[in-house]
Amino acid sequence: MTLDDAVIARHTVKAFEPGKTLPQDKIDTLLNVLQNSPSSVNSQPWHFVVASTPEGRAAMAKSATAAFIYNEPKIVNASHVIALCIRSDLDEQHLQNVLEQEQKDGRFKDEAAKAGQDKGRRSYVAIHRYEQRDLPQWMEKQVYLALGGLLLGAAMLGIDATPMEGFDQRELDLSLGLREKGLTSVVLASLGVRSDNDFNAALPKSRLSRDEIFTFI
């Protein structure tokens, strides 16, 4: 499948075939996509909770009630559901962990390069914490970069997927014990095999024309 094929074939699945499990090698590839997602100043402010069992999906489905009940089948009938989360803060421990991992991975030619990277990253964190006062929103932007890569990767692998903001974030955080871990949920992504009842699969893709969305200078 070419990239053009994948972006045209990809659609938001409205119904999954229950009991269908995706191959582990494909899931591992998608986890690799998430792990290697880009983030501003390599801040990596995320954590991903992967539900691959009925019990795990049921725990996530607790957040799809009341106004979000329509999403409950997309969680329980999927093969895997991933909760993409952000950290409650980019604290000292996280900043040090990222820096030391970069050191282990050979990112720095010397101590000056390491110090420069650390200073630059901290300056961005400070801007969003103290000046723009939008640190959670800034972290969320990085998570959506990861989500985009996940959806495109799934399409390239022929995996059906559904991104979902329609869930009770508080309920999911409590159900998964995220707050105790210093995390909060942002968005869900269900992965699986679409059902014949997926009405969206038969609909043509609709996007605004290039003339309307591109300006070439």
For residues 141 and 40, the answer to whether their CB atoms sit within 8 Å is yes
Nearest to 139 by CA among 39, 36, 48: 39
Q: What is the β-pairing status of strands 160-164 and 80-87?
A: unpaired
- Active-site positions? 14, 74, 165
DSSP 3-state assignment of 185?
strand
Nearest to 207 by CA among 13, 14, 11, 6: 11
Please return the burial class of 95, using the count of CB atoms within 10 Å of its CB with bins 0-12, 13-18 and 19+.
middle
Distance CA(123)–CA(194), nearest Å, equals: 45
Phi, psi at 139, each rounded to 5°: -65, -40
